Amino acid sequence: MRLSLRFVLPLLIALGLLAYAVTPLIEKLTVRWFERDLELRANLIANTINEPLSELLRAGDTSRVQKFFVRIAQDERIFAIAYCASPAEAPLATESLPGGVQCAQLEALADSANQYLPGSTGQLLILARPMATEAAPSGKLILIHDVTFMSRRGAETRRYLFYFFVALGLVVSLITVVIAQLSWRGWMHGLRTMARGEGLMRPSQGFDSPELLPIANDLRALVREIQAEHRSRDEEQVAWTPDTLRDILHRELANQDVIVVSNREPYIHVRNDDAIVIQRPASGLVTALEPVMRACSGTWIAHGSGNADRDVVDARDRINVPVDHPAYMLRRVWLTREEEAGYYYGFANEGLWPLCHIAHVRPTFRTPDFDQYRKVNKRFAEAVVNEATRPDPLVLVQDYHFALLPRLIRDALPDATVITFWHIPWPNPEAFAICPWRDELLDGLLGSSILGFHTQFHCNNFVDTVDRLLEARVDRETFTVSYRRKLTAVKRYPISVDWPPSPELFAKPVDQCRADVRMRHGLPADHAIAIGVDRLDYTKGIEERFRAVERLLEQHPEWVGRFSLLQIAAPTRASIEEYRNYETHVRAEVARINERFSGGLHPPIILEARHHEPAEVYEHFRAAEVCFVSSLHDGMNLVAKEFVSARDDEQGVLVLSQFTGAARELPEALIVNPYDTDQCAAALNIALTMPSRAQRQRMGLMRGLIKEFNVYRWAGRMLIDAATMRRRGQLVDRSPHGHRMPLWPERRAE
């Protein structure tokens, strides 16, 4: 509407001015036309009455002349008529001629430029025509016209002119509005087409409106720029490998100080009799971050947990790793037994772990544990400050052991870029609110520049929690939290596995794996196997898995003796009572169910409660028909992704709990509710009887996803975001109070 007004208003003003200017002109013109008409009429009358009048004058009959004049003057436009024999004589006229008017005066007026009789306020027009007779050769016929009709018609003309311009204005406005709207729609359509990126390559496309052609190139360039800006930069990469991470570091973060902080160290030195051996923890985190550290020669700060760790470090508790080809520095932080008990087993694993996992195990909060947690976080913060060679290191803080660390780093190194990744779920605000130190934990985490979770659901929960519990400004469009004049972007980075997996994990062909695993457990070659691989943790739903197997055998007795669940369970956190109890329950369940189906030749559940090397784990994945992941709650669950990556034969079925982050990425798995025993048993039966072709289809799709979204992409996306943030951070606004307010995330955060 405003657009139409912009066209219509000037148009109406122009029309108004035109009407104002044209009206007097037209009036003048019409007056001139009327006067000319009257002159013609006067000629006509003069010519017509010439003869009879001459007769009457000659006869000297003035009364008949007057009667004759009265007859002529009956015409409404003739006011009076007179005959002047000479200027000196009195006129012979109708009575309507104003008294006292002399011939000289009448003739003079008729010859003048203004032919109107004075005093008649311009209503009486005087016209003289020669009317020569023998007696009066210079005689004149004087016709006095009543021209009031002219002003009446003038008023009428003005009125019609007004109506005409109003009608013209309306019609032209209507046409203008319609054309403006149609053109506007055309332009908008053209612009929208461009904005969608259609017709970007072919100039002819996307432009129904030729008017846009002159700016088409500019528009295209602008749209491309915006698209490039908004496209997630990790999409530009075709394949993600350790080399890709190296390239990103060299390109985007050259000469930057990169520091990783995690509880678990990537290399553990363990005394084995008199020798010191190096153990590598089987951990997705280590797999992903090690190439980053190798590429940037950074520093990894971790708890020195190996019993020979102290024997191999230098005076500053550092060791170059890998020992055979040193590429980066491992800085070990020592913890006393008390510290480890309070910080790691106590607050982190008896408090935060059950708090964040909805697995119906009550968190235990003890003040001394939290004191240790606080103390250890400070110790790691000191280590970060000591290891930083610049005031603005890039620090990657890993997991729930270090919720307070980001704030401590931020206080000590305000220019640091801190990326914190929370590997476990984040609960809803009500659940989190039971923690006595909830505000301190949130405050600690909001010291991060970026806070990452596996799923959007956990990002949402975190933002809701902050919104509910802190005086912070939450922006749900950009997913940022503004707290203590600092912005934290909350982002989703789903972790994944190494792709392509290391060749040694695939060295043994699938058939060989099948045969070896079955032989090792005394099972026949055609025995069906489902595999479970977990730490012995109550969140993994191991008991629920066993109950699903029991139900399967109840409902489908044909599987008794022909099917086994092979559970590989790594003991974990054994100093925590809850975990010890859990292991006891798990073992009791295995015994009970195996006893119940002891009629079969082979036990339905085989439990191997020990740590396995990655190659052994992969051998089991490759030997099984089914992998059963039944976590009650899990941030991601790497076992599910490892199973998919292990099956290069595209066979095998994944039964996956809906409460894992992985379930959001792998919908081709058989998704189950681990609390629903019947559903899990049915899924197991479907998995065990699924035709090979259907298995191939599902597995192919899942492998495609993991190939595209591997662990290097997980780390790479964080590095790219960190680099972008650092570049934008250079545009800082120093507020009058000296606070640094990075400008970047206000408008940009996916």
Residue 331 binding ligand ADQ, by CB under 6 A: no
- Residue 500, preceding peptide bond in cis (omega within 30° of 0): yes
Residue 707 binding ligand ADQ, by CB under 6 A: no
Residue 423 binding ligand ADQ, by CB under 6 A: yes
- Binding-site size, ligand ADQ (CB under 6 A): 21
Residue 340 binding ligand ADQ, by CB under 6 A: no
Contact residue for ligand ADQ among 498, 642, 665, 668 (CB under 6 A): 642
Stretch that binds ligand ADQ, among 163-171, 339-347, 610-618, 705-713 (CB under 6 A): 610-618
Report the candidate in 223, 18, 49, 231 with the shortest Cα–Cα distance to residue 129: 49
Strands 299-303 and 328-333: parallel
Residue 644 binding ligand ADQ, by CB under 6 A: no
* C-beta of 480 vs 496, nearer to ligand ADQ: 496
Distance CA 343, CA 525 (A): 48
CB of 508 to ligand ADQ, least distance (A): 17
Residue 719 binding ligand ADQ, by CB under 6 A: no
CB of 344 to ligand ADQ, least distance (A): 14
Contact residue for ligand ADQ among 635, 652, 716, 729 (CB under 6 A): 635
- The CA distances from residue 446 to 98, 405, 670, in Å, are 107, 10, 37
In sequence order, the 6+-apart residues with CB closer than 8 A to the CB of 368 are: 342, 346
CB of 675 to ligand ADQ, least distance (A): 18
* C-beta of 46 vs 636, nearer to ligand ADQ: 636
* Interaction mask 279-308, ligand ADQ, x per CB under 6 A: ---x-x------------------------
Stretch that binds ligand ADQ, among 339-347, 389-397, 583-591, 628-636 (CB under 6 A): 628-636
DSSP 8-state secondary structure symbol assigned to residue 91: P
Site for ligand ADQ in 371-400 (CB under 6 A): none
CB atoms within 10 A of CB 509: 12
Contact residue for ligand ADQ among 64, 280, 468, 611 (CB under 6 A): 611
Site for ligand ADQ in 495-514 (CB under 6 A): 495
Cβ–Cβ < 8 Å for 747, 478: yes
Length of the chain: 750
| Residue that is written with structure tokens 């036309």 in the block | 33
Distance CA 670, CA 104 (A): 124
Helix/strand/coil (H, E, C) string of 530-599? EEEEEECCHHHCHHHHHHHHHHHHHHCHHHCCCEEEEEEEECCCCCCHHHHHHHHHHHHHHHHHHHHCCC
Report the candidate in 521, 601, 524 with the shortest Cα–Cα distance to residue 567: 521
The identity of residue 157, as a single letter, is T
* C-beta of 92 vs 655, nearer to ligand ADQ: 655
Site for ligand ADQ in 76-135 (CB under 6 A): none
* C-beta of 249 vs 639, nearer to ligand ADQ: 639
Core vs surface per residue 615-642: b (16+ CB within 10 A) or e: ebbbbbbbbbbbbbbbbbbbbbbbbbbb
CB of 664 to ligand ADQ, least distance (A): 12
Stretch that binds ligand ADQ, among 143-151, 530-538, 552-560, 730-738 (CB under 6 A): 530-538
* C-beta of 563 vs 621, nearer to ligand ADQ: 621
Tokens for 579, please give them: 């975990």
CB of 630 to ligand ADQ, least distance (A): 12
Beta bridge partners of 742: 732
Residue 535 binding ligand ADQ, by CB under 6 A: yes
CB of 729 to ligand ADQ, least distance (A): 27
Stretch that binds ligand ADQ, among 60-68, 289-297, 555-563, 636-644 (CB under 6 A): 636-644
In sequence order, the 6+-apart residues with CB closer than 8 A to the CB of 285 are: 262, 264, 398, 399, 423, 495
Residue 624 binding ligand ADQ, by CB under 6 A: no
CA dihedral 509, 511, 517, 520 (to 10 degrees): -110
Stretch that binds ligand ADQ, among 205-213, 596-604, 630-638, 687-695 (CB under 6 A): 630-638
Residue 617 binding ligand ADQ, by CB under 6 A: yes
Site for ligand ADQ in 468-497 (CB under 6 A): 495
Contact residue for ligand ADQ among 107, 543, 589, 634 (CB under 6 A): 634
Q: Which helix (H) or strand (E) holds 602?
A: none
Q: Which residues bind ligand ADQ (CB under 6 A)?
A: 282, 284, 423-424, 495, 533-535, 568-570, 611-612, 617, 634-639, 642
